[in-house]
Structure 1
Amino acid sequence: MRVTLLGTGDTTGTPTVGCDCDTCRTARERGIERSRFSVHVENDRTGESLLVDASPDFRSQFLSHDVPLPEAMVITHIHFDHLDGLGNAYRIFDDLPVYAADETDPKTGESVAETVRSKFDYLDRITVHAVTPFESFRVCGFDVTLVPVDHPPLLCYGLVVSDPETGTKLSLSGDTNYDIPEDSRAALADPDLFLADAIVPAALCEHHPAGGRHEDDEGVPRTFGHKHMTREGALSMAEELNAKQTRLVHTSHFYPAKEAFEEPLAVDGEQYDL
């Protein structure tokens, strides 16, 4: 299993358009990119590959990184920075299977699969497959499982990608706060690589209108506001899940410049052979 981090940033990415903060300026000077979130997972046994989330930066990601176009895609939730790149399927794919959850979201009145199907109804190149969370499905030679996480106000899912032949396992937290349900934690546990949402360091919670939540024993917030884990929360989750290796993704340009590019914060283009 070869995992390529195509997009490691949050909804604005780093550098952020029109921003001259120290972090964005440092990223430009060092040629570092954190585009909107997307992960490419290649099966070296079958030659097939799976794309997790359709970044709006789809075109530049595939032009910048030496990875093949995917045979299938999984969508974790319907926020713009994880979905809108699906429009790139036009004229690129003859047929692209897209997998998404079948649970009805009380906020939207439809499932993620239904939203994808209706929003991209003009694309005859994609076929949307509705799948049930916690029920594994086989695609690209992998066993893939969507697991519910907590990203209010919308339903959102983490993901487990396992190779049934080698036993290697990739877990993605999805966009989530620290309050991941216990059954989802069990499904995500013991990965060879854990990709964890870590939008800001915990110290920045004082600047969020909702503050921080899910404090540890020392009072450090593991959730920033309501929707995302802090760096400290993501690292705590990784420890709880017994992850062999952890990379922090979906990070924002609000990290102070002196911290923004330190380990284990990921940047675009990182590649891992599991």
Structure 2
Amino acid sequence: MEVTLLGTGDTTGTPTVGCDCDTCAAARERGVERTRFSVHVRNERTDETLLVDLSPDFRQQFLREDLSVPDAAVVTHIHFDHLHGAGNVFRLTRSLPVHAAAEVDPTTGESVAETVARQYDYLDAIEVHDQEPLEPFTAAGLNCRLVPVDHPPLVCYGLAVEDPETGAKLSISGDTTYDVPEDSRDVLADPDLLVADGIVHAEFCERHPRGGQHHDADGVPRTFGTKHMTVDGARALAEDLNADRFRAVHVSHFVPADRAFEDPFAVDGERYRL
């Protein structure tokens, strides 16, 4: 299984449009980017490919990495930076199976699968397949399971992807606080690689109107505000899940420039073979 981190940034990306902060300046100087979130997975046995989330930066990401249109996709939730690249498949393929959760969101009154189908009903190529959370399904020849996480006010899901023959495993936390349910943690556990939401360092919680949550024994917040993990929380989740490797994604430009490109913060284009 070959995993490429296509987009490792938050909603605005890094560099952020119109921003002259030290972190955005450093990204420009280094020639690196953190575009909006997306992960590409290639099944090396079958040469099929799976795209996790349809970033609005789809075209740029696929041209940059010299990739073909994926054979299947998964949508974790309906926020702009994870879904609204779907229109990029227009005229590029006749068929793109898109897997999404069937659980009805009390906030929207419809499931993620239903929202994708409704918003992109004009695209004949998109074939939405609704999946029950925690139940296995197959995409691109790989075993997958969507797992509920905590990203209020909308339902949101992490994803476990496993090669049924080699046992290689990728876990993606999804956009979430540290409060990932235990049954979801059980599915995500023991990955060869964990790709986890880690938007800023814990000390930045002091600048958030709602501060931080889910503090560890030393008082370090593992959740930034109410929707995302701090990188400290993402690291703690990696330890909880016994991950062999861990990369923090959904990274914001608020991470100080002198630490923004250090481990474990990922940048676009990182590639891993599991």
TM-score range, shorter chain: over 0.9
Corresponding position: 1:64 with 2:96: no
How far is 1:69 from its partner? 2.0
Q: Is the 8 A contact 2:89 2:125 kept in 1?
A: yes
Q: Which has the higher strand share?
A: 2
Superposed, 1:239-250 pairs within 5 Å as: 239-250=239-250
Amino acid at match of 2:6: L
Q: Is the 8 A contact 2:163 2:169 kept in 1?
A: yes
Superposed, 1:136-175 pairs within 5 Å as: 136-175=136-175
Q: Provide the rounded CA distance (Å) in 1 between the counterparts of 2:69 and 2:271.
A: 16
Give deviations 1:119-147, integer Å, cap 9, x for gaps: 01111111100000111101111000000
Corresponding position: 1:50 with 2:50: yes
Superposed, 1:1-274 pairs within 5 Å as: 1-274=1-274
Amino acid at match of 1:86: A
Runs of 4+ in 1 over 6 A off after TM superposition: none
- Secondary structure at the aligned position of 2:184 is classed as helix
Question: What is the TM-score normalised by the length of structure 1?
Answer: 0.99
Give deviations 1:42-87, integer Å, cap 9, x for gaps: 0010010000000000000011013332100000000000000001
Q: Provide the rounded CA distance (Å) in 2 between the counterparts of 1:111 and 1:183.
A: 20
Q: Provide the rounded CA distance (Å) in 1 between the counterparts of 2:273 and 2:253.
A: 28
Aligned residues: 274
Question: What is the TM-score normalised by the length of structure 2?
Answer: 0.99
- Secondary structure at the aligned position of 1:49 is classed as strand
Give deviations 1:216-255, integer Å, cap 9, x for gaps: 0000000000000001000000001000000000000000
Q: Provide the rounded CA distance (Å) in 1 between the counterparts of 2:255 and 2:142.
A: 35
Q: Provide the rounded CA distance (Å) in 1 between the counterparts of 2:67 and 2:88.
A: 16
Amino acid at match of 1:144: C
Q: Percent identity?
A: 68
